[in-house]
């Protein structure tokens, strides 16, 4: 996950997709060349939605530079260790 340099990373969670789309637009309008979308579990499909909306509706010159998938170990509310899938989508203009 080398492309993520900190402040250009957007963590996609349970809000409506447009909240994260707006965050992407703000980053690109601030002059960032790359925006990294990260999500885990069920939010993964929302991260893909966000990337596609940004690319198709707002920045037609934005490309999906890289998509990585992975697994993170988390502790659930019962104190058990569970594996959760992750995604990292790098959008670049």
Residues sharing a CB contact under 8 Å with residue 72, sequence separation 6 or more, in sequence order = 40, 83, 84, 86
- Name the minimum Å distance from CB 62 to a copy of itself: 12
Going residue by residue from 45 to 64, which x/- string records binding to a copy of itself, judged by CB under 8 A?
Answer: x--xx-xx---x-------x
Judged by beta carbon, residue 28 or residue 51, the one nearer a copy of itself is: 51
- Name the minimum Å distance from CB 56 to a copy of itself: 6
Find out whether 82 and 51 touch, Cβ atoms under 8 Å: no
Instruction: Report the C-alpha dihedral over residues 35, 41, 45, 50, rounded to 10 degrees.
Output: -30
> In degrees rounded to 5, what are phi and psi of residue 35?
-125, 135
Q: Which positions from 1 through 40 interact with a copy of itself, judged by CB under 8 A?
A: none
Residues within the interface to a copy of itself (CB under 8 A): 41-45, 48-49, 51-52, 56, 64, 67-71, 83, 85-87, 89
């Amino acid at each position: 996950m080398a492309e993520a340099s900190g402040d250009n990373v957007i963590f996609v969670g349970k809000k409506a997709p447009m909240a994260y789309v707006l965050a992407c637009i703000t980053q690109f309008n601030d002059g960032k060349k790359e925006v990294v979308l990260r999500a885990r579990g069920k939010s993964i499909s929302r991260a893909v939605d966000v990337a596609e909306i940004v690319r198709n509706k707002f920045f037609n010159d934005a490309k999906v530079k890289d998509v990585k998938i992975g697994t993170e170990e988390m502790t659930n509310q019962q104190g058990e260790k569970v594996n959760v899938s992750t995604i990292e989508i790098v959008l670049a203009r």
